[in-house]
Structure 1
Amino acid sequence: MRRLIPINTTIPPSPSPSPSPLTDFNSIPGGPFLFPPIPILDSAFDITTLSLIASLILLSLLSLSFIFYLRLKSRTSHHLQNFNSLWSVRLLFVLFIFIWSLTETLRLPFFRRRFLYPFLPKFTLPQQSSLCKTHIILSLGFLQPGFLTTLLFLLDASIKKRNPFCPIGVIFLSCTPATILQTFFVFFEPLKSRLPDCFYASSVLSIDYFDNKILLCRFPLFSTIVFAAFGIVYSMVFLFSYWRVVSLVINKATRMRIHALAFSVLICLSIQVFFLALSSFFSAESPVYGGVMLGMFLSVLCCAAVGEGILVIRPIADALAAGGDCCQWRPGVRSLQPVEEGRREVMVEGSQ
């Protein structure tokens, strides 16, 4: 049984002559490049999460290929230029999700133990603590608010004319309050002496059978409260934009896509906040905590995957299909009617 010790603001550095936490692990036959024959229970959730992260990364790479392919096609096809007006915003949306997927690996002890520590110098306990805090700020303070705000803009741009380059600054600016608040509560830890550890503890020290020390990242309750406040404001704005778009859409298939997007965003966001709050009341090494964190990750993954499918892949596929139909006119004769019919089939396009 491992012993768990809450991490305070100041962590004394471990003595330099102490053995590396990887000494016993690397002594396993096969070296650090092979997985253990039977993964232990506390790594099972990490392995599952890594598999889901790999799936989301592949979906993001597919979305990026769609974006760049349409970008290249629009240079030679005049009728695709209007469909490609929001390519930079879609690119930012996919990059937010892609980077968030990569940062999620930083909080997994299995990933750090197997893929980081064999190739990087050993992290001290203060460095591991800073890594956990940085992950919280990036995840809940910048990347998730960033891709949710970009998703909202792509939905709202379907009924408005927008400059595709101006909103990028607005999106980054909208993430600033959440980033500042997360940084304040994570690094400065207000009211620390008056509140329980669950309000500000971003990591827990774990000591295994061999007295090897590693920090387990967790989400403090203050960070959950800040993200929940962002989620409430975001949900109200999203519902307003959702009803406006639905009231103007005539195509039945497009309406179903919008309903699916709204359902996934609102439900998944609520589930994520619930799991984040629930995780503060369980030990970081208990199987229940691992299941709660896996459920939290699944809720964000569902929202991101549905967003990429509905706002990136499907609109671009429809634009390319409509563009193919628009090409079927005689040389020297230009007709805008096929282009307008194609635009109505695409859910989210800008500058229409």
Structure 2
Amino acid sequence: MPLTRYSAEAFGVLTICLVGLLVLLGLVCIGYTLYLRSRVLKQGFILLSYFSGPWIIRITFILFTIWWGFGEIIRLNYIRRPGRVLNVLDFKWQENVCKFYIVSNLGFAEPCLFLTLVFLLRASLQNIDTGILSRKWNGKTASCVLLFALPMFVLQLFLILIGPELREDRKELPLYFTRTARSMQNSNDIALCSYPLLNTILLGLFTTVLTAYLIWLGRRILKLVINKGLQKRVYTLIFSVSSLLPLRVLLLGLSVLSRPEHFLFEALAFSAFLVLLCCAGVCIVILVYCPVADCLALGNLNDLEARRRVILDDQNDTASLIANQTHLDESIGISPERNSDASTKRGSISFRTFIRDEPSSGPFVELSLFSPSRDENPSGSPPPVGWPMMSSPTHVHGP
């Protein structure tokens, strides 16, 4: 079923708009991450540095997502039609753009996205002293992501380069196994991008191995999580990745059943794009936005505690002055030294009574744990519940 002009433009415009929203979400999360990092460094929230430790890898994950989004734009037929951006290039250069898209997105951006996701999840199982609190953790993780993605990049590039020779040597091999672009029916000067089946199969193998590892990793994390909110986040993340990534590969593989100009191909390609877009959005929200928002909320609670302490001090001073004045009126014959001792004593009793009347449960006691001036726990005393242990005889190591 051939595409109408309006259908092609609708798919292209919608893709560009969704990529723009993804970029906007990524930039907002990058700003939040940098803002949290500056607060941790300037205001001295030492304990919150545990949650802001992987800030470079979080930003790197967003940058890989933005890279992938722009790659999805350059493969669109919408920008190749007469009068559009890529129409000024000849057929050979447009075909090279399609090859660059395959190597860039399927060979680099997507593998790096998956690997960064793995390392962000794996960080929660590592030893804190040598994990995300280590100054070298971000650099080592970025190096590992690029190193592990290199074989996939080389293989995808190799398949693209040997594609023409493979077609000449093996005549029985269908063209859709290696073809990266097809010419438009009414114009031989326009090259429309397609997905070579060999490159898609290679991406599927990589995705299968990584999805299995993520499921196993998620099960280990769920055994250690005691907060129901965090459990929901982990379940959502693992379910999204384990279902959407294989679905994308399946849709890309089915796209070889139709031509790039037909509605079926464009619908499958757009669905595959939308699937990974949703997966990337969920990962950004859960792995970047939610941890940063939680840390900023703890910082706001710390500010609230400081203001509350100031108010309590003011009320204590007022109560002490009232108690001292009442005592002076009732005991005129008492010596100044004794009067001063008694008034101070009554003032302190009034303050302690005021504190005792406050509710014992609530955020006030917990807030003091995040005070920037608070030192570490005394030796032998247990850490706060739910807070990572800075030193313990046993550690949970990642795989």
User: Would the TM-score normalized by the shorter structure come out above 0.5?
Assistant: yes
Larger displacement relative to structure 2 (312-321 or 155-164)? 155-164
Q: SS at 2:52's partner residue?
A: coil
* RMSD (Å) for aligned C-alpha atoms: 2.5
Aligned position for 1:318? 294
Aligned position for 1:19? none
Q: 1:104 to 1:242 in 2, by over 3 A?
A: same
Aligned position for 1:182? 156
2-structure distance, mates of 1:332, 1:77: 7
Aligned position for 1:309? 285
Letter in 2 for 1:334: R
Tell me if 1:94 matches 2:62: yes
Q: 1:214 to 1:2 in 2, by over 3 A?
A: farther
Q: SS at 2:184's partner residue?
A: strand
The structure, 1 or 2, with the larger RCO (C-alpha pairs under 8 Å, 6+ apart) is 1
Number of residue pairs matched by the alignment: 305
| Displacement after TM superposition at 1:61 (Å) | 1.2
1:111-156 Cα deviation digits (max 9, x unpaired)? 34465248xxx21111111100010011111101101110111111
1:284 to 250, 253, 260: 260
| Displacement after TM superposition at 1:82 (Å) | 2.7
- Preserved contact between residue 33 and residue 292 of structure 2 (Cα < 8 Å): yes
1:82 to 42, 50, 56: 50
Aligned position for 1:191? 166
Larger displacement relative to structure 2 (38-47 or 186-195)? 38-47
* Structure 1 runs of 4+ with >3 Å offset: 112-115, 329-333, 339-344
2:21 to 17, 39, 55: 55
1:30-81 Cα deviation digits (max 9, x unpaired)? xxxxxxxx95222221122112111111111111111111122122122233
Letter in 1 for 2:145: I
- Normalised by the length of structure 2, the TM-score is 0.71
Q: SS at 1:291's partner residue?
A: helix
Identity %: 31
- Normalised by the length of structure 1, the TM-score is 0.80
1:108 to 66, 70, 76: 76
Which structure shows the higher helix fraction? 2
Aligned position for 1:166? 140
Q: SS at 2:257's partner residue?
A: coil
2-structure distance, mates of 1:332, 1:309: 27
Q: 1:112 to 1:60 in 2, by over 3 A?
A: farther
| Displacement after TM superposition at 1:2 (Å) | 8.1
Q: SS at 1:214's partner residue?
A: strand
2-structure distance, mates of 1:66, 1:84: 11
- Preserved contact between residue 179 and residue 195 of structure 2 (Cα < 8 Å): yes
Larger displacement relative to structure 2 (80-89 or 122-131)? 80-89
1:286-324 Cα deviation digits (max 9, x unpaired)? 111111011100110011000000000000000111233
2:8 to 37, 42, 55: 42
Q: 1:199 to 1:132 in 2, by over 3 A?
A: same
In structure 2, stretches of 5+ residues that fail to align are 132-136, 310-370, 378-382, 389-396
The within-5 A match list for 1:110-149 is 110-113=78-81, 116-117=85-86, 122-149=88-115
- Preserved contact between residue 251 and residue 272 of structure 2 (Cα < 8 Å): yes
Aligned position for 1:21? none
Letter in 1 for 2:177: F
- Preserved contact between residue 323 and residue 342 of structure 1 (Cα < 8 Å): no
| Displacement after TM superposition at 1:336 (Å) | 5.2
Q: 1:115 to 1:285 in 2, by over 3 A?
A: closer
2-structure distance, mates of 1:39, 1:282: 17
Aligned position for 1:233? 209
Q: SS at 2:79's partner residue?
A: helix
- Preserved contact between residue 43 and residue 110 of structure 1 (Cα < 8 Å): yes
Q: 1:333 to 1:64 in 2, by over 3 A?
A: closer
Aligned position for 1:334? 374
2-structure distance, mates of 1:263, 1:245: 14
Letter in 1 for 2:244: C
Q: 1:341 to 1:126 in 2, by over 3 A?
A: farther
1-structure distance, mates of 2:225, 2:386: 14
Letter in 2 for 1:59: L
- Preserved contact between residue 132 and residue 202 of structure 1 (Cα < 8 Å): yes
| Displacement after TM superposition at 1:325 (Å) | 2.7
2-structure distance, mates of 1:92, 1:341: 31
2-structure distance, mates of 1:61, 1:315: 16
1:250 to 226, 242, 266: 226
| Displacement after TM superposition at 1:218 (Å) | 0.8
Letter in 2 for 1:70: L
